[in-house]
Structure 1
């Protein structure tokens, strides 16, 4: 099943959200006098992954539930060189007028028992009425997470 088939009329909204997240990070880099972001990647959750997540939550696997019951249909991973830069990016995101922070999980300060470290933000994109996830971690933490 393609993204368009699963997400239907929600797919263009998800594409807009993905683009908005990329622009947000570009704007951060433009405002900084020193490069803080090594690279970033974005994605729309695959139909298969979204179906599994919705079923696990006890929800009908459809496009409407994908955008209303799940916070990470759209996500971006921001990779920094240093831990301090994670918090600089996060603080800047929090200050944006068109975004509301819904939830923060700071696995940098409070690692998971298995050692996983990352900074997760669930944000609400006000103009699209959609939640999205931002993960921020260092190059070293990203390497470790990918090995796991």
Structure 2
């Protein structure tokens, strides 16, 4: 009998800033995170991706979400997925520069798993991503 290790979970990054996308990719690499990272540049693109039946990878179960984006912002995206029975169980971590209490309240009222302020230094960002990796590695998700 052979034991096969589970396929690493796909993670969706919803982020419109190319520099922030590169920083997340760099932090994944520095932390040896092997999860596939799929990028959408706004909420509309992310919803289309999540609702697609023709993906070349397992559907994401974890979303890293920026709040300030064009077309459809993060809070609007959260409202949409929480109303969709096929997407409502996604684990969403907000990663944003917004330190506004109203954004934090809105996000937590929409059941985010965490609200992380984007650190200014790369070292702090790498540490934050390492903590996230520890979290989703420890958690068990239904198939």
- TM-score tier, shorter chain, comes to under 0.3
Structure index of larger Rg: 1
TM-score (normalised: structure 2):
0.28
In terms of fraction of residues, the more strand-rich structure is 1
In terms of fraction of residues, the more helix-rich structure is 1
TM-score (normalised: structure 1):
0.27
